[in-house]
Amino acid sequence: MQVYSATKQQFSQDVLSNCIEDKILTEYRRKTGYSTSKNEILSWKNSLQYMNNVLIAAKTPGNAGVSIEYKIPQSSKRIDFILTGKDNEKKDTAVIIELKQWQKASFSTKDGIVKTFLGKSEREVEHPSYQAWTYAALLYDFNETVREENIVLIPCTYLHNCESYDVIKHSHYREYIEKAPPFLKNDTARLATFIQKYVKYGDAHIMYRIENGKISPSKHLADTLLSMLQGNQEFIMIDDQKLVFETALHLCKKAKEQKQVLIVEGGPGTGKSVVAINLLVELTNSDKVVQYVTKNSAPRTVYESKLTGTFKKSHISNLFKGSGSYVDCDPNCFDALVVDEAHRLKAKSGLFQNRGENQIKEIIQAAKLSIFFIDEAQQVTLKDIGEKETIKEWAGKLGAITHEMELASQFRCNGSDGYLAWLDNILQIRETANEDISEIDYDFQVIDSPNELKDLIFRKNKRNNKARLVAGYCWPWVSKKSGITGEDDIVLPEYDFSMKWNLDDDGFLWLLKPDSINEVGCIHTCQGLELDYVGVIIGPDLIVRNGQIKTKPEERAGQDSSIHGYKKLLNENPDLAKQKAEKIIKNTYRTLMSRGQKGCYIFCTDHETNIYFKSLLKQTEPEKEKESQSKNKKYPGLDFPVLDKNEINPYVDAVPVYDLKVAASRFSEHQPIDSQDWVVLPEYIRPSRGMFIARVVGESMNKRIPNGSWCLFRKISAGTRNGKIIVAQHRDIYDEDTGGKYTIKKISQRKSYQRRR
């Protein structure tokens, strides 16, 4: 998404007429659904005037492309300014310019970090050159069009109010300065020369190609873990991720003198696990004694399975530990403990939860540096004690200095922190301004039946085994005892639907097993892990009445340990018990609904609840039908889903459809077929190369093919054609590369005999 797009000529006119900030704000509101701060609006006005001066000095062609506030795919980050055109060799080029209004900056010994005044106080932030380089690298990684069409990305940064060269151009930052040169207040002529080098000829269409280009599949941490542990950089840390990473390394050095605790808050998709694994790798390579800790077994088990066969089992066990492993540890026996999903920590450890005093205390005590990655909105059981205030309290008791940081850079839900805020709003966890996600690049749908939900997830899973069904724990796990051939667990007879919970044999490897698409996971098997698409069955523990969400803990299955102790607490303190149970149930569904990076589809067993969620999409039943029809305007009567350009997997789960009318009588009029879409076939039809869909018009074959029918055709490679219905093209009349006349006929082959003389 780009907020503002124009030619350089139009951009200059908008700046000179003093309307540039108004135009950007109008588009920003239209495309995001909300406004922005006065400071950001003022920054547009000020910085873009400076940029216009530079473009005038550079004699930039009037037809060069200008894009402002371009959102990098699969992230929440926006590039300030992009100028597109061609260089001297006619190579397609996009110059990426990060704009800063800083007046000065201070030096930091941390890699890629400087200090500057933001919000009336001096703060540590990434060096502007580091930021510009990482943004360009992300765009290159995420956009296949940039790579495949060899669009050259040239990053730089412009600090138009800053005069001091001492810090910004210090040799300490040489690596990043060489990748993305900085230009300061007195560098207008230098920046103009720099731009002239890369944009000699204008081409505004380049940005259109980038904006509409194919997006690369999302990387998954579990899939890249081995490569990361072997020292490869799989994820580029940006903005606050880089700051957290460098701060943790800095605190590890300080922890030699005094115990340190770092608390890092961040919601789903902010990169907590990515930063945690990067810290594990970096500290281990620096000969530090460090371990990665989680209470939840699912991510640990998945990570360990990915490393089996490459690392020794003992080495893997020394890297990944459960949160109850530090009951009997000596003080400070670890240089660092990296605690992921810290909100899931418990008081007691052991199988019967009868060991130790408090896991938070034991972790802080065992390490010189303890790093807690936490999201209190993902506490999903009554026994979860991982809260920021509790960690700070134990740190104080154990003589540790506490530091607090926050991760906000989104890399899940297609980078949309707006989606997560919308979830909070619709689940009535907290009131936010996010009441609409129609402009957010995220596929959220409310499905009418569990079978439709299952079919949709099965289709999505065909691409790369990254889609799964999950549900609230509202059905007993009866198949655990009866085995594979036993009865199903989640049974909805009114829909003729039944499925099993994930098999006990797979355990926490459920997410990786290809056959587990036939099973339903729960919060305990997917928390801390990620998918491309998730289908969520919302059970009777969460319903809506008169627009208000009601939670019903009594509808949870008796085997669900997350609310064990609820009845006892209900007798002792009914208000507190209901408050805690409501938080757990809402957090559970928020977590389940944020597992998908690209899409989430839900079905509610309660009809009124399903209607409620549909209403929040501003999509009533008639509107949905109307929308479905509008999507098929190009192919009226074709019910198969048309795939988004980024989801096409040709002839694996999709076949082409041509806007082509095949005559069931005489040859049709000339029809060029220079474009096509791709559609998903029903589950019972296996796509194969050579298949395509086209429409048949005419009455001559209406006993077999009604007039106006969409038909699936397959190329015949060998064998007899006798008796087959075929599409025939009249090649003698029109060039076969641009189209021709088409008809549909049934072939009847007859032998021809020559009379002997």
For residue range 81-119, list pLDDT tens digits in order.
999 999 999 999 999 999 999 999 999 999 999 999 887
**pLDDT of 740 higher than 70:** no
Least confident of 8-17, 402-411, 498-507: 498-507
User: What is the pLDDT averaged over residues 574-599?
Assistant: 90
Res 622: pLDDT: 39
Domains of the chain: total: 4
Which three-class secondary structure string do you get for 62-120? CCCEEEEEEECCCCCCEEEEEEEEECCCCCEEEEEEEEECCCCCECCCCCCEEEEEECC
| More confident: 484 or 40 | 40
146 and 226 belong to one structural domain: no
| 732, pLDDT greater than 70 | no
Question: Do residues 158 and 51 touch, judged by C-beta distance below 8 A?
Answer: yes
> 630 or 485, which is more confident?
485
pLDDT computed for residue 392 by the predictor: 96
Tokens standing for residue 332: 């400070």
Q: What is the mean pLDDT of residues 578-584?
A: 91
Return the percentage of the chain with pLDDT > 90, whole number.
44
Q: How far apart are CA 288 and CA 292, in angstroms?
A: 13
- Whole-angstrom CA distances from 747 to 306, 681, 714, 731, 744 are 55, 26, 15, 18, 10
Give a yes or no: residue 664 inside a domain: yes
In contact, 100 and 114? CB cutoff 8 Å = no
Q: Tell me, yes or no, whether 397 and 421 share the same domain.
A: no
Domain boundary among 407, 432, 467: 407
Rounded CA separation 270/508 (Å)? 23
**Range with top average pLDDT, 360-374, 638-652, 722-736:** 360-374
In a domain, 640, yes or no: no
Contact 295/341 with Cβ under 8 angstroms?
A: yes
- Asked if residue 643 is part of any domain, the answer here is no
pLDDT at 612: 93
> Where is pLDDT greater, at 384 or 706?
384
Of 399 and 513, the one with more pLDDT: 399
Q: Examine the domain organization and report whether 425 and 535 are in the same domain.
A: yes
User: Are the C-beta atoms of 696 and 711 separated by less than 8 Å?
Assistant: yes
Considering the domain architecture, whether residues 361 and 430 belong to the same structural domain is answered as no
Residue 310: both structure tokens together: 């490459």
User: 161-175, 216-230, 523-537: which has the highest mean pLDDT?
Assistant: 161-175
Asked if 239 and 174 sit in the same domain, the reply is no
Structural domain including 175 reads 2-211
Residues 679, 713 within the same domain: yes
Instruction: Say whether both 254 and 171 belong to one domain.
Output: no
pLDDT the model gives residue 628: 41
Is the per-residue pLDDT at 341 higher than 50?
yes
Is 184 a residue whose pLDDT tops 90?
yes
Output the domain CATH number for residue 338. Answer: 3.40.50.300
Structure tokens, 362: 């034991």
pLDDT at 742: 61
Confidence of residue 13 (pLDDT cuts 50, 70, 90): very high
Tell me what pLDDT residue 230 has.
Answer: 75
**Model-level pTM greater than 0.75?**
no
From 379, 407, 435, give the residue that closes a domain: 407
pLDDT band at 703 (very low <50, low <70, confident <90, very high): low
Contact status, residue 233 vs residue 311, Cβ threshold 8 Å: no
Q: Sign of dihedral through CA atoms 675, 681, 685, 687?
A: positive
Based on the fold, state whether residues 243 and 264 are members of the same structural domain: yes
Most confident stretch, 147-161, 216-230, 464-478: 147-161
Mean pLDDT throughout 409-429?
A: 71
Is residue 751 domain-resident? no
- Burial code (b: 16+ CB inside 10 Å, e: under 16) for 559-580 equals ebebbeebeebbeeeeeebeeb
214-228, 378-392, 590-604, 622-636: least confidently modelled range: 622-636
pLDDT value for 668 = 42
Domain containing residue 501: CATH number? 3.40.50
Are 542 and 521 within one domain?
yes
Same structural domain for residues 277 and 366?
A: yes
Mean pLDDT of 183-212: 93
Q: Please give the share of the chain, as a percent, with pLDDT higher than 70.
A: 81
pLDDT, residue 623, reads 39
Span 43-50, mean pLDDT? 93
Per-residue pLDDT tens over the stretch 21-39:
999 998 888 776 667 888 8
Domain presence at residue 111: yes
- Exposed, middle or buried by CB within 10 Å (0-12, 13-18, 19+), for 398? middle
Q: Are residues 359 and 420 in the same domain?
A: no
pLDDT (tens digit per residue) in 546-572? 999 999 999 998 888 888 888 888 888
pLDDT (0 to 100) of residue 749: 55
Angle at 234 between CA 229 and CA 235, to 5 degrees: 115
Residue 413: is its pLDDT beyond 60? no
Domain for residue 755, yes or no? no
User: To which H or E segment does residue 260 belong?
Assistant: strand 260-266
Q: What is the mean pLDDT of residues 694-712?
A: 74
State residue 662's pLDDT score.
Answer: 67
The Cα–Cα gap between 28 and 671 comes to 41
Residues 70 and 192 in one domain: yes
Q: Rounded to whole angstroms, how far apart are CA atoms 12 and 14?
A: 5
| Pair 24, 4: CB distance under 8 Å | yes
pLDDT band at residue 640 under the 50/70/90 scheme: confident
Residue 632 domain-assigned (yes or no): no
Name which of 82-96, 373-387, 593-607 the model is least confident about. 373-387
Show which of 149, 179, 211 is a domain's final residue.
Answer: 211
Residues 6+ apart with CB under 8 A from 470: 520, 521, 522, 523, 526, 534, 535, 536, 537, 592, 595
Most confident segment among 162-176, 287-301, 482-496: 162-176
Residue 628 forms part of a structural domain: no
301 in helix, strand or coil? helix
Rounded to an integer, the average pLDDT of 234-257 is 91
Kindly tell me if the per-residue pLDDT of 665 is higher than 50: no
Q: Given a cut of 50, is residue 330 above it in pLDDT?
A: yes
Mean residue pLDDT of the chain comes to 83
Give residue 723's pLDDT band: very low, low, confident or very high (50, 70, 90): low
- Mean pLDDT, to the nearest integer, of 232-236? 76
Residue 279's pLDDT is: 92
Confidence of residue 485 (pLDDT cuts 50, 70, 90): low
